Amino acid sequence: SQKIEQNSEALNIQEGKTATLTCNYTNYSPAYLQWYRQDPGRGPVFLLLIRENEKEKRKERLKVTFDTTLKQSLFHITASQPADSATYLCALDSGYALNFGKGTSLLVTP
């Protein structure tokens, strides 16, 4: 069956450091992979999309890599700030729907 796995434990880092979140998947051949941010009590917000033929994508302090051989995506936030504290969700397409991982909770402390 299709599976998307994200770091189950919360990630605590100090302000200014780089946060790295992992998304692994099995039994998918995705055309693209997306990352969303979710704050408590709110809906997910789209951050980045990376296509299967792209190895890396950047947007301001965010960087995503996509390795279709390893079936893994890494999501980096450089120079992290307390405002980056949230849950980050990885999503793969399945027909018209998105299948999400459980998310990784990130806490950035001053």
Sole binder of another protein in the list 91, 106, 109, 110 (CB under 8 A)? 91
Cβ 102 to another protein, closest distance in Å?
5
Q: Would you count residue 41 as binding another protein (CB under 8 A)?
A: yes
**Residue 49, burial from CB neighbour count under 10 angstroms (0-12, 13-18, 19+):** middle
Neighbours of 69 (CB within 10 A): 5
CB 2 within 8 A of CB 94: yes
Residues 5-34 contacting another protein, CB under 8 A: 32, 34
Calculate the alpha carbon distances from 82 to 31, 87, 109 in Å: 33, 13, 6
Give the integer Cα–Cα distance in Å for 44 and 98: 12
Cβ 15 to another protein, closest distance in Å?
26
Residues 49-78 contacting another protein, CB under 8 A: 49
Sole binder of another protein in the list 2, 12, 94, 109 (CB under 8 A)? 94
Cβ 86 to another protein, closest distance in Å?
14
| Residues in touch with another protein (CB under 8 A) | 4, 32, 34, 36, 41-46, 49, 89, 91, 93-103
